[in-house]
Amino acid sequence: MNIKNSKILVTGGSSGIGKAIAKLAIEKGAEVLITGRDKDKLKSVAYEIGASHLLADVAKEKDIEATFDWIKTNWNRELDVLINNAGIGYRKTLNEVEWQDFENIFQVNVFGAAIMAKHAANIFKTNGKGNIVNIASTGGVKGYPTGTPYSASKFALRGMTQCWQSELRPHNIRVFLVNPSEVTTAFANPERVEGVDVDNKLRPKEIAHATISALEMDDRGFIPELTVWASNPF
């Protein structure tokens, strides 16, 4: 696809990977709507990168509906790409996990992603084309200590991606899964403070580059799953 003049929705777009994807897409000429839960941060980042913004929590179905109402009103129901980037997670050993941990994480990483995709797919089917990018994790390919709730959510997202690929291909809708390994973001930081760049760790811009590059492939093809590792993180 041609990123220029496309309309792209990025959830969790006010920081980390979402912000980096939105910024790169705008630099390539796209119109971008970013959503998030922090009103002040969302507004500041939108102004910084030149995006539209909407206060919305993907864990709340009414906020998802409001997001697509915005698209109907402001973009005349036109949408080319959904980036399902919003996600939460934290580290707990098995003996520490609580029922609520699964509910908290799955509400965003699984339920929210699925209902966002449902609404986007309805638009894409009408338009005869479209793209869904699910930002998952290498934790959704292989589990790790302290990753039980988070890794389970990303395994679920990977499984849903495969279902949507099978279901939506006949409608000319491409569905991508992107698995970053460790990235210097605010992940697992309760204060949501962004991590600092480390020479041997991935940055959000590497994931943005991989995501936008995959989307730029001609529409006749797509990359079902893309995993990005740091070259030497040790």
Query: Has 144 been annotated as catalytic?
Result: no
Token pair of 8 as six digits: 């792209």
Cα–Cα distance measured from residue 232 to residue 234, given in angstroms and rounded to the nearest whole number: 6
CB 156 within 8 A of CB 89: no
User: How crowded is residue 88: how many other Cβ atoms within 10 Å of its Cβ?
Assistant: 20
CB 127 within 8 A of CB 219: no
- One-letter amino acid identity for 169? R
Question: H/E element holding 26?
Answer: helix 16-27
Check 47, 90, 144, 150 and give the catalytic one: 150
CB 82 within 8 A of CB 131: yes
Catalytically annotated residues = 150
